[in-house]
A and B are shown apart, each in its own frame.
Chain A
């Protein structure tokens, strides 16, 4: 299992209602819950569908990676997705097609795997002082005055309102373009926890800027 992929997105709530399953979804559930050779065939068939979805994702997001790496990532992602799906099968209520529900696991696993592979040999910038460079941008000649004013105000708000951890996450995600799943891996955290940090930081900045008269 890719640490932090599906496991970092543990559901907070279960579906609260059921709907009628479409025929294809019902057959999938029956076969996957069956036993013997028919269940094994269903697992293998689902795995192939997941490989297809994972290949779609790694080819789409994995430009620059070696073709052999992409296929390995796709197969590993499909393996992990199948495990996650079988573990959560009872949570599927038929609110969407079974295959759509299943694809999202494969696509998530593949996306996280590609992001992490692309960054595996790169240093993740976690210097929260990088925010200070924002203020320098305010004086850039080709920056229009309105944007320059906002940049300066955001820089001041970062300094005045955010904790060091909030600055670090905000800067890494919004200025350095570090994928949040990569950050989560490096910081032994989760996408959800780091996005909560980012969300709280953004709220603080908005509040500070509103106090300064910005209408954003």
Chain B
């Protein structure tokens, strides 16, 4: 075991139980990730425009990293 050893209750719950809300799949996430990121960078309500994507990013470490990278790279190059 690794990084969960010092997690508090909320962190442990989030890690092992995932998001409470309905979420999209990894495939659906990738499909709209560019639009989601541009909505975020434009200050739009991305969560409302793409329901279920936020919860997926909270639950899927790989998609979360992909999102962070696209957001940061698009922001840096725009």
Residues of A within 8 A of B (CB): 9-13, 52-53, 56-57, 60-61, 95-97, 99-101, 103-104, 107-108, 111, 115, 130, 133, 137, 144, 146-147, 150-151, 154, 170, 173-177, 179-181, 191-192, 195-196, 198-199, 202, 205-206, 209, 216
Whether A147 and B33, one on each chain, are in contact in the complex, defined by CB atoms closer than 8 angstroms, is no
Q: Is residue B45 within 8 Å, beta carbon to beta carbon, of the partner chain?
A: no
CB-based nearest A residue for B68: A60
Interface of A, helix, strand, loop or mixed by DSSP: helix
CB-based nearest A residue for B5: A137
Residues of B within 8 A of A13 (CB): 28, 31
Partner of B69, one of A57, A133, A170: A57
Nearest 3 Cβ contacts at the A-B interface: A202-B18, A96-B34, A192-B26
Whether B60 and A195, one on each chain, are in contact in the complex, defined by CB atoms closer than 8 angstroms, is yes
Whether B1 and A173, one on each chain, are in contact in the complex, defined by CB atoms closer than 8 angstroms, is no
The number of chain B residues with a CB under 8 A from chain A is 39
Whether B1 and A176, one on each chain, are in contact in the complex, defined by CB atoms closer than 8 angstroms, is yes
Given A12-B25, A100-B74, A147-B9, residue A209 in contact with residue B17 (CB < 8 A): yes
Whether A180 and B61, one on each chain, are in contact in the complex, defined by CB atoms closer than 8 angstroms, is yes
Partner of B61, one of A103, A144, A150, A179: A179
Partner of B34, one of A10, A56, A101, A181: A101
Residues of B within 8 A of A108 (CB): 30, 66
Given A103-B74, A179-B62, residue A96 in contact with residue B30 (CB < 8 A): no
Given A150-B13, A199-B18, A216-B17, residue A60 in contact with residue B25 (CB < 8 A): no
User: Roughly how many angstroms separate A147 CA and B10 CA in the complex, as a whole number?
Assistant: 9
User: Roughly how many angstroms separate A35 CA and B15 CA in the complex, as a whole number?
Assistant: 50
Whether A173 and B61, one on each chain, are in contact in the complex, defined by CB atoms closer than 8 angstroms, is yes
User: Roughly how many angstroms separate A56 CA and B7 CA in the complex, as a whole number?
Assistant: 30
Closest Cβ of chain A to B17, distance in Å, is 5
Whether B1 and A107, one on each chain, are in contact in the complex, defined by CB atoms closer than 8 angstroms, is no
Closest Cβ of chain A to B73, distance in Å, is 5
Partner of A177, one of B3, B25, B59, B65: B3
Whether A111 and B13, one on each chain, are in contact in the complex, defined by CB atoms closer than 8 angstroms, is no
Residues of A within 8 A of B73 (CB): 53, 56-57, 103, 107
Residues of A within 8 A of B2 (CB): 175-177
CB-based nearest B residue for A100: B34
